[in-house]
Amino acid sequence: MKILAINGSHRKGMNTATMLRLVLEEAAQGGAKTELVELVDCRIEYCLSCNQCLREPKCSIRDDDMPALAEKMLAADAVILGSPVYFGNVTARLKTFMDRTRWLHMRKNLLEGKLGAALTHAGLQNGGQEITQMILERFLLSHGFQLVEPREPGRPIYNSAVMGTLFVGLDGDRFRWRKGIQEDALAVAMCRALGRNLLRRAKGRERVDVP
């Protein structure tokens, strides 16, 4: 099994990347091959709305990093998207990536049937994680992914989605913050649960596919 994680953060290796790595680490312990892509390392041009992908499953832009990213998605069994929340939505970098996957969807869902998952992170509680999670999941569903949540049989149901925060509480008018997402015990537990669940779902599919 190959799991590809795509980090939409503008800050490489920070909290969203840490959450994605936790998911990948848990899946790798069960034998999955994993890869984390930091979009900040990639050059992705804006979609031109040229509509070539309405005629054939092909993008007219070929001289940036998007073709290589598309190949990684096509080769993966599961794709996890991660986004911090800067202003109530996915990051601009991740939205550009999402727009450029249009050719994988318009004529035929070339990613149909793969496993998909998403996670979000924000500074505050109720800081836009919920709507950002919905946007990511809607994107995955539009491509034909089968959504995987951190719910596991026989284990406590922490939440239906993986969402982290740095906010701890208030001392009067003063905010108290975690130093990093690893201090958010619930988010860490949910990331690890998602990794196990991705592996479980993938192994279940493999068993079903055996003649």
For the stretch 195-206, pLDDT in tens is 999 999 888 765
Q: Is the predicted pLDDT of residue 77 greater than 50, yes or no?
A: yes
Whether residue 112 is predicted with pLDDT greater than 90 in this model: the reply is yes
Indicate if the pLDDT at residue 207 is higher than 60: no
Q: Bridge-partner residues for 38, per DSSP?
A: 7
Q: Shortest CA distance to 193 belongs to which of 156, 131, 151?
A: 151
Angle between helices 66-75 and 92-100 (to 10 degrees): 70
* Number of domains making up the chain: 1
Q: pLDDT band at 125, cuts 50/70/90?
A: confident
Instruction: Label residue 105 by pLDDT band (50, 70, 90).
Output: very high
Q: Which helix (H) or strand (E) holds 82?
A: strand 78-84
Work out the average pLDDT over 107-120: 96
What is the model's pLDDT at position 208? 39
CATH code, 48: 3.40.50.360
Work out the average pLDDT over 143-158: 83
Does pLDDT of 98 surpass 50?
Answer: yes
pLDDT of residue 154: 72
Q: Are 120 and 136 in contact (CB under 8 A)?
A: yes
On whether the pTM is more than 0.85, the answer is yes
Q: How many CB atoms lie within 10 A of CB 173?
A: 5
pLDDT in tens, 29-53: 999 999 999 999 999 999 999 999 9
Contact between residue 22 and residue 15 where contact means Cβ atoms under 8 Å apart: no
Print the domain residue range for 40.
2-209
Give the pLDDT confidence score for residue 157 in this predicted structure: 62
